[in-house]
Amino acid sequence: MKNNIKSKILAAIVCISTVVSLTACGGNTGGNAEAKKVINIGMMNAPSGFNPLESTDIAQSTVAAMLFNPLVELDDDMKFKPMLADSIETKDNITFTVKLNEKAKWTDGNPVTADDVLFTVGLISNPKVPSTIASKFALLVGLDENGKNTTGAEEIEGMKKVDDHTIEFKTKKLVDLALFEDNIGTRLKTVPKHILKDIDPEKLYQSPFILNPNVIDGAFKLVTYAKDQYVQFEANKDYFLGTPKIDELYFKIMQGSNITVQLESGEIDMNHPNLGLIPFEDYEKVKGMTQLTTESGGTPGTIQTLMINNKTITDVRVREAFSYAINRKMIADSLLKGNGEGVELPYLSSSEFINKDITIKSYDPEKAKALLKEAGWDSNKTINFDVPTGNKVREKVADIIVDNLTSVGVKVNVQKYDFVTSLAKAKSHEFDIYIVGIPVYPTNPDLSTILQTGGNLNLGQYSSPYVLG
């Protein structure tokens, strides 16, 4: 089921030039003559961390992007704009030349250089570092199908430093520039070599820096993370792309229903369009709040995806039965009030990459029952359905899925965990079915790196020689 945030989901934005600091988070102006410019943002899920080498949950990716710049970033017009890189160019779609912004520097005053970029890719591709974005780098020469450097070589064949601010990447085959920018340009968030070079790669994720990054090149610096309450950032006044116009940002973590309440009370100034969706039943109420400016749309959103563990639900007929058993249209029409649609792949229905010949499996409980019978499904068997809490709409969708599966003879045990815990269990494949939001891919037609064994979104352990080659 897809939440089409770009064209349909309500994002509430307060149009104010100066916001007094949030008292609920202990903020204050400290008696300054000029009040700080502070924005308070509502979101439903706590980030799993601030690790720039990870990109499994959207909350984590969002906060990490505040601290560490990607090479490029996808803008609202679906074009890639420069961030850490001034440019990415290719003449043959094999060799890609990346020129870094020479003004970029770390908050300790050191410049951001090509050495930092090469060091970061080295960490991502190190078999001892469990980076979830490694599969995106599999297109580089010298890395295996999971984006790992298993050759034992200290240097990766597909990367070369040209000068302090220029790097050449070589791919194994012809690659479209947009695909390179999407796979590598948007996901490569460079870390400081001079800070991390002496840390054992196996212990990297437990290092103080990864847990609490304090040398960054992004627009905002991390101040405080009060677990499951809020994340506080302050402006990096020496940011190479210009001092942010906002002094402080607070990402407040709350239940979805509280977003409406705190928008009304003024405790938050806006909701995050991907992470803090307005409950559907509150749309009209929020639209009627005179202190807000509301607009439908925003960034490309997420697809709520039912992951089926291929190693515990091994029969393809059973997996197909689950698909036929779920009434997606009813979810879209009744629960989502028409603001959603069923999809088979992570593309918007308007995407240029969508295969128009693929039809969505219709709701057919009788066919589901027939497939289960053909597969010899044991009606006494209970499957575990892991559901992350926080997003009430997703929880209601899960309730409908349970009812749908129960009606065709499948017993379901629902296990609810906070988002961070549920995601950790999902990464360890400790589920039979699991519901989670994954990003929309508006510019990337290649899903093979997602579905690789080590792909950061392949929580269901999908494997197909036909698809993956």
* CB-based burial label for 466 (10 Å; 0-12, 13-18, 19+): exposed
Confidence of residue 36 (pLDDT cuts 50, 70, 90): confident
List, for residues 151-164, the tens digit of each pLDDT value: 888 899 999 999 99
Model-level pTM greater than 0.85?
no
- DSSP state for residue 448 in the 8-state scheme: H
Residue 188 pLDDT > 80: yes
What pLDDT does residue 9 have?
A: 23
Residue 324 pLDDT > 80: yes
Rounded mean pLDDT, 286-310: 76
What pLDDT does residue 147 have?
A: 93
What are all long-range contacts of 137-140, with beta carbons under 8 Å and residues at least 24 apart?
A: 137/183, 137/184, 138/449, 138/452, 139/171, 139/172, 139/173, 139/175, 139/179, 139/180, 139/183, 139/184, 139/449, 140/169, 140/170, 140/171, 140/172, 140/184
Rounded mean pLDDT, 185-199: 96
Say if residues 116 and 191 touch (Cβ distance below 8 Å): yes
Residue 29 pLDDT > 50: no
Beta-bridged to residue 230, according to DSSP, are 226, 252
Task: Give the residue with greater pLDDT, 457 vs 183.
Answer: 183
For the beta carbon of residue 372, count every other beta carbon within 10 angstroms: 23
Task: Give the residue with greater pLDDT, 74 vs 169.
Answer: 169
Least-confidence region, from 31-45, 59-73, 177-191, 230-244: 31-45
List, for residues 101-137, the tens digit of each pLDDT value: 999 999 999 999 999 999 999 999 999 999 989 988 9
- Hey, what are 169's tokens? 């990447």
Q: What domains sit in the chain, N to C, each tagged with a CATH number? A: 10-68+218-295 (3.40.190.10), 72-203 (3.90.76.10), 302-468 (3.10.105.10)
Buried b or exposed e, range 407-428, using 16+ CB within 10 angstroms: ebbbebeeeeeebbebbebbee
Confidence of residue 347 (pLDDT cuts 50, 70, 90): low
What pLDDT does residue 339 have?
A: 67
Rounded CA gap, 414 and 411, in Å? 10
What pLDDT does residue 405 have?
A: 96
Q: How far is CA 64 from CA 115, 208, 216, 452, in A?
A: 21, 15, 10, 24
Percent of the chain with pLDDT over 90: 55
What pLDDT does residue 303 have?
A: 76
Rounded mean pLDDT, 435-446: 68
Rounded CA gap, 180 and 245, in Å? 31
What is the separation, in whole angstroms, between the first and last Cα of the chain? 28
Task: Give the residue with greater pLDDT, 201 vs 25.
Answer: 201
Say if residues 146 and 130 touch (Cβ distance below 8 Å): no
Q: Can you tell me which residue has the tokens 């149009």? A: 15
Residue 269 pLDDT > 50: yes
Task: Give the residue with greater pLDDT, 290 vs 296.
Answer: 290
Rounded CA gap, 14 and 293, in Å? 6
Rounded CA gap, 68 and 156, in Å? 23
Q: How far is CA 188 from CA 33, 192, 198, in A?
A: 40, 13, 21
Task: Give the residue with greater pLDDT, 203 vs 419.
Answer: 203
Rounded mean pLDDT, 35-53: 91
Residues 6 or more apart whose CB falls under 8 angstroms from that of 319 comprise 308, 310, 313
Task: Give the residue with greater pLDDT, 220 vs 329.
Answer: 220
Task: Give the residue with greater pLDDT, 328 vs 191.
Answer: 191
Residues 6 or more apart whose CB falls under 8 angstroms from that of 72 comprise 80, 81, 82, 83, 85, 88, 181, 185, 186
Beta-bridged to residue 38, according to DSSP, are 248
Give one DSSP letter per residue of 56-120, joined into a string. Answer: SSHHHHHHHHHHS--SEEE-TTS-EEESSEEEEEESSSSEEEEEE-TT-B-TTSPBP-HHHHHHH
Least-confidence region, from 122-136, 218-232, 322-336, 343-357: 343-357
List, for residues 367-402, the tens digit of each pLDDT value: 999 999 999 999 999 999 999 987 778 888 999 999
List, for residues 73-92, the tens digit of each pLDDT value: 988 777 899 999 999 999 99
Q: Distance of alpha carbon 74 from its chain centroid, rounded?
A: 14
* CB-based burial label for 203 (10 Å; 0-12, 13-18, 19+): exposed
What pLDDT does residue 467 have?
A: 55
- DSSP state for residue 42 in the 8-state scheme: E
- Hey, what are 73's tokens? 């970033």
Confidence of residue 4 (pLDDT cuts 50, 70, 90): very low
Q: What are phi and psi of 140, to 5 degrees?
A: -85, 140
Rounded mean pLDDT, 297-310: 72
List, for residues 5-24, the tens digit of each pLDDT value: 222 223 332 322 223 333 33
On average, the pLDDT of the chain sits at 84
Rounded CA gap, 322 and 371, in Å? 9
Rounded CA gap, 235 and 287, in Å? 31
Say if residues 388 and 417 touch (Cβ distance below 8 Å): yes
Angle 183-461-273 (CA atoms, 0-180°, nearest 5)? 50
- Pairing outcome for strands 10-13 and 293-296: antiparallel
